[in-house]
Amino acid sequence: MAMYPPRAGLLCLGGDYNPEQWSSDVWREDVALMREARVNLVTVGVFSWARLNPAPGRYDFGWLDEVLDLLAGHGIAADLATATASPPPWFSRAYPDSLPVDQDGRRLTYGSRQAYCPSSPAYRAAAIELVEQLAGRYGEHPALAMWHVNNEYGCHVPRCYCDRSATAFRDWLRERYASLEALNDAWGTDFWSQRYGDWAEILPPRATPAFHNPGQELDFRRFSSDALLALYRSERDVLKRHTPAIPVTTNLMAALRTDLDYWRWAPELDVVSNDHYLTAADPESQIDVAFASDLTRGYAGGPWLLMEHSTSAVNWQPRNAAKTPGQLLRNSIGHVARGSEGVMYFQWRAARAGSEKWHSAMLPHAGTDTKIWREVCELGAALDRLGEVAGSTVDADVAVVFDYASGWAQEAPSQPSVDMTCFAELRRWHATLWRSGITTDFAHPAQDLSRYRLVLVPALYLVSDATAANLKSYVDGGGTVLVGAYSGIVDEYDRARLGGYPGAFADLLGIRVEEFFPLLSGQHVALSDGGTGTIWAERGRATTATVLATHLDPPVPGCPALTRNRYGTGTAWYLGTRLPEPDLARLIRDVSEQAGVRPVLLGGNALGPDVEAVRRRHPDGTSYLFLLNHGDHTIRVPATGTDMLTGDEIGSILTLPAGGVAVLRAKEE
C-alpha cells in the first residue's frame, strides 16, 4: 500500500477543502487554523470543474496555484482531485446527449452533480482533457501527495439506460460471450420468446411489461460497474503517465452503496479509500462504523484511508441528528482501530450556500468557539500520539464471504421470497460477531481463505464452479465454514443448478434439498434445539451430515434446519433457515468456539455489549489494543500496556469512562 503523506509514523487528518467557495482572504485563515488542528492532508478541487474550465478550451488555474502554494508553505499535503465528478453547465448544454437516462427513459438534467453518462464519448474526452491539464501543471508541485479521481462513482447514477449505454453494453457483451449463441444460452432466452438474432436487438433492461430477463439484468449491473471503472482507469492512466510515483485513489462508498463491485475496483487503486456516514436513526451506529471499516479493509487487503465522514450532522437524511460530545473522537478512532491510516472529513469549512450548507464540517458556521472545533483539535492531538500505528495490520481469525454479483442476483425480482436478502443478512452476521467481541474480515469467495480459522457464508446464492471449489478446498484443508440458507443455488449466469439444492455446496454440506418453503410475513417455526426459524424453510434430508436441529412445525416438520458435516479434515455447517438475533448469536458462538476462534479480550462480551476491542499489530510484535466504551457507564477492562493517548502505564486493569477511548501499546514476545 502506498503511504501518504509520504513519511512513516504519521496518520492523516484533514478533509475536503473547497476554497473556490470563499474569497482569497479566507484562505489564509484556513491554513492557519489547519495548522492549529494538526491537519496534514486536504482533498482539493473535487467540484471545481466550472472554475478550472469556465468555457470550452479556456482554463483558469490562478486560484488553484495560490491555494496549493499556501498549503505547501504551511506543510499541508494535497490530495488533488481531477474535478471530473460534476461537469459544468456549459458542457451539459453543449452536449445534451452526455446527460444520463433513467430506466423509464427520462433524461436527467444538470443543476445538481454527477450528471453524466459513463459511456458518453464527449464526457470522457472533456474529462481526459482536464486531467491532462491538471497533471501537466501540478505533477511536480510540492503540495501534491495523492491524486483523487472523480468522486463517489455511482452514488447518484449507478446505471444509465441511454442509447450510448446500450451500444457500450452490447460491446461489453460481445467481449464476455463472443457469440450470440453463447449469450442466448447464458440468459436462457428461449423463455418468453426473448431469443436474440442480432446484437443490435439487445437493450439495457429498460422499463418492460413484466419481469426482466434475470441474466440480462445481472449482466447490465456488471457492465454498469465496469463502465464506471473504465472511466476511473482512463483518468488514472493519464495521471500515472505524468506522475508514476504519486498514488491515485477514488473514494468508495462501502456500506452506503451496493451498486459497484468493489472487489473489482480495489486492485485498481493505489490507496483504497472510503466514505462513511452514520444513519441518525440507527441506535447502534458504532456497529455500522465497524462494518464499513471491515469491508474497506477487506477490499484493500490491509490498511486503507477514511476519506470522508462527518464531524456531526449530515444534511441528506430525513432527520439529521448531531453527534453527542465525544462521539467525533470515538467514531474516528473506531475507523483507525480497524485499519484506517487516518481520519478525513467532508468538509473543512462549513458551506454558506448550496444543498450541503447544513452538513457539519471541521470548522463550523459558529467558528472556533464550538464543541466541534475543540473536538477536532482533540482528535488532531490524539492522532499525533498514535502515529506509530500507521502501517500496522488488524488481527482477524474470521472472514465473512460475499460477492456483489451474487447479492444483485439474489435481490432481483421474481425470487422465492423478497425477505431472503443478501446485503442485510451480511450486516446481521457481522453485527453478531461484533457483539461477541470477534474482529471480522470480509473476503471474496475466490480468494485464499487458508489463514482463517472460520469462514462464514451468510448468503452466497450465485457461485461459479471455481469459487465453489475454493470453499471446498478451504474446508478440505482443515477449515471450518458456516453456510447460510439459499447459497450455492445458481451458477455465475444465474442459471439454476440441477439435481437438488444447495447445488454447488451439496457434497460439501452433506445435504440434499428438494424444495424451498418460504415462510409468510411474520411466520415463525419452532426448531428442535429450542431455537426459532424465520423467513425460510426447506424440504430436504442429510446425506452425510449430522442433523443438529430439525423443524418441529409445518411446513416441513422433521426436516433439517441445522447440520454439520465432516469434509476432508475440516467441518462444514449449514443453516437451512434464518434465525432471529439471539439464536444466531448462540449458533455463531458455538461454531466459533469449536473452530478455536476467541474474542479479542478473553471473556468476550462479558464486559457488556457496549465495549469494542480491536487489535492492530506490527510485524515486530508491537500490538495496539483499541478499546472504545460506547455505553453510559464506566467499565473496568482487564488489560496491560501503555495508554498512548494519556501516557499512563496500565498494570492489569484499565478504567474506561463512559464514551471513553484508550489505545494500549504492548510489545509481545
Q: Mind listing the pLDDT tens digit for each residue in 375-417?
A: 999 999 999 999 999 999 999 999 999 999 999 999 999 999 9
Averaged over 247-272, what is the pLDDT? 97
Q: Is the pLDDT of residue 607 over 90?
A: no
Residue 378: active-site member: no
Confidence at residue 514, expressed as pLDDT on a 0 to 100 scale:
97
Alpha-carbon Rg of the chain, whole angstroms? 26
Are the beta carbons of 186 and 376 closer than 8 angstroms? no
CA 608, CA 631: separation in Å to the nearest integer? 9
Peptide bond into 347 cis (omega under 30): yes
Would you say 77 and 420 are in contact if contact means Cβ atoms under 8 Å apart? no
Strands 570-575 and 635-638: unpaired
Residue 5 has pLDDT above 80, yes or no: no
Q: Is 106 helix (H, G, I), strand (E, B) or coil?
A: coil
Buried b / exposed e over 105-137, threshold 16 CB at 10 Å, is eeebebeebbbbbbbbebbbebbbebbebbbee
Give me the amino acid identity at 273.
S
The grid coordinates of residue 86 equal 460534476
Q: What are 558's three cell numbers?
A: 422433521
Q: What is d(CA 562, CA 544) in angstroms, rounded to the nearest whole number? A: 13
Supply the pLDDT for residue 602: 67
Mean pLDDT of all residues in the chain?
96
Determine the pLDDT at residue 667: 74
Structure confidence at residue 608 (pLDDT): 75
Residue range 251-265: average pLDDT? Answer: 96
User: Rounded to a whole number, what is the distance in angstroms from the first to the last CA of the chain?
Assistant: 27
DSSP secondary structure string, 612-627?
EEEEEE-TTSEEEEEE
Report how far apart, in Å, the C-alpha atoms of 108 and of each of 96, 111, 162, 206, 307 are: 10, 10, 11, 15, 28
Taking a C-beta distance cutoff of 8 angstroms, is the pair 352, 21 a contact?
yes
How does residue 603 score in pLDDT terms, banded at 50, 70 and 90? Answer: low
Judging by DSSP bridges, how do beta strands 538-542 and 653-656 pair with one another? unpaired
In order of 114, 337, 617, 620, 641, the CA distances from 668 in angstroms are: 49, 18, 10, 9, 10
Q: pLDDT tens across 626-639, in order?
A: 999 999 999 999 99
User: Whole-angstrom Cα distance, residue 588 to residue 606?
Assistant: 16
Give the count of alpha carbons within 13 A of 180, CB side only. Answer: 11
pLDDT at 604 (0 to 100): 47
Nearest CA among 404, 417, 408, 577 for reference residue 483: 577
152, 217, 538, 612: the catalytic one is 152
pLDDT (tens digit per residue) in 91-120: 999 999 999 999 999 999 999 999 999 999
Q: Which of 132, 181, 217, 308 is catalytic?
A: 308
Tens digit of pLDDT for each residue in 197-222? 999 999 999 999 999 999 999 999 99
CA separation (Å) from 322 to 17, 50, 122, 242, 515?
Answer: 21, 32, 42, 43, 49
Predicted local distance difference test score (pLDDT) of residue 641: 96
Q: Which of 276, 282, 287, 281 is CA-nearest to residue 605? A: 287
Q: How confident is the model at residue 9 (pLDDT cuts 50, 70, 90)?
A: low
Averaged pLDDT for residues 284-302: 97
- In angstroms, the CA 434 to CA 456 distance is 14
Q: Kindly state the average pLDDT of the residues 589-615.
A: 86
The pLDDT score that the predictor gives to residue 669 is 46
**Residue 514 appears among annotated catalytic residues:** no
Question: Residue 439 pLDDT > 70, yes or no?
Answer: yes
> What's the pLDDT band for 609 if we cut at 50, 70, 90?
confident
Q: Report residue 561: phi and psi, to 5°.
A: -115, -30
Q: What is the pLDDT of residue 358?
A: 97
pLDDT value, residue 7: 58
Interstrand relation of 570-575 and 560-567 (parallel, antiparallel or unpaired) = antiparallel
- 126-162 pLDDT tens trace: 999 999 999 999 999 999 999 999 999 999 999 999 9
The per-residue pLDDT for 4 is 57
Residue-wise pLDDT tens digits, 468-503: 999 999 999 999 999 999 999 999 999 999 999 999
Query: Distance between CA 244 and CA 9 in Å, rounded?
Result: 24
Q: What is the pTM of this model?
A: 0.97
Percent of the chain with pLDDT over 70: 98
Contact 304, 292 (CB under 8 A): no
Residue 605 has pLDDT above 90, yes or no: no
For position 1, what pLDDT does the model report?
44
Q: Within 13 Å, how many C-alpha atoms sit on residue 495's CB side?
A: 14
Are the C-beta atoms of 213 and 187 separated by less than 8 Å?
Answer: yes
Query: 351: buried, middle or exposed (CB in 10 Å: 19+, 13-18, 0-12)?
Result: middle
Give the whole-angstrom CA distance, residue 477 versus residue 570: 6
